[in-house]
Structure 1
């Protein structure tokens, strides 16, 4: 347990360093940034014959760092791909409701056992086979979303799949904070 704690401290320091370098917060269109990120992982979706069903409203502006947002998207899609069966479906949706931007990624894969749901955002926790995952993807993504003043939750049922839900404050034109 002491080793895990030490590893977490090191990872936290690395994340703080990385976030300091990416501190440039500006209005970003998460729809457009997400589409760019999909292009980076498209070969894997084709390889596994997984269909990505994407429904993103236009002009979903939030305050953040585009590279960090794309890292979140890549982490979520990679997890959904790993959980999905060949020829499966991954649904990605983004929309605005009042002053909040919603973004979800859903897969219909194996799901996560209920007793593991409280651990999914912990560092080094993974349900993947040894050597297949670091257990840092959701942890890092969660940290990025928190820095963007948002929230990220995960719901899953064994045999039915998983949905990750992100909410972020809408960036209004003329709002520079």
Structure 2
């Protein structure tokens, strides 16, 4: 019998690295945006499924969003930094020249603690800003189901922003070790 290509020891060609912008959009929109929004909506539902008739007003919504923004920024940064460093080390994406990042990436410090703080503030401000805008458009008070949907959408936005800041930190810091 003939040996298969996989068992013959022949090296498989490595996949070419994704362009940085493609990696950034994929991770921020899908990974840290949509998936994060779904997770936060499910957590909100699980926390409030015992009180389906509850109504949430401005104060309840902003209190929830402020706490969520702080937790989202902190947790996403702490979890994503090692994963992004691993991707950079494995050449999953082509790291751009840090000097050419431009835009909001210049706001991200190259050291860990300040970058964590900036990312947390960015996530919280995004959550509060998008949440405040939505509260102007939506009839209040919100039911638990409506708040769950709102929280999912708003957390998707904030997760995308926090993911962007986190990836920019990894690229700016220049460290690719986990």
Asked if these proteins are the same fold (TM beyond 0.5), I'd say: no
Whose RCO is larger (CA < 8 A, sep 6+)? 2
Rg larger for: 2
With the length of structure 1 as denominator, give the TM-score of the two structures: 0.27
Structure with more helix by fraction: 2
Structure with more strand by fraction: 1
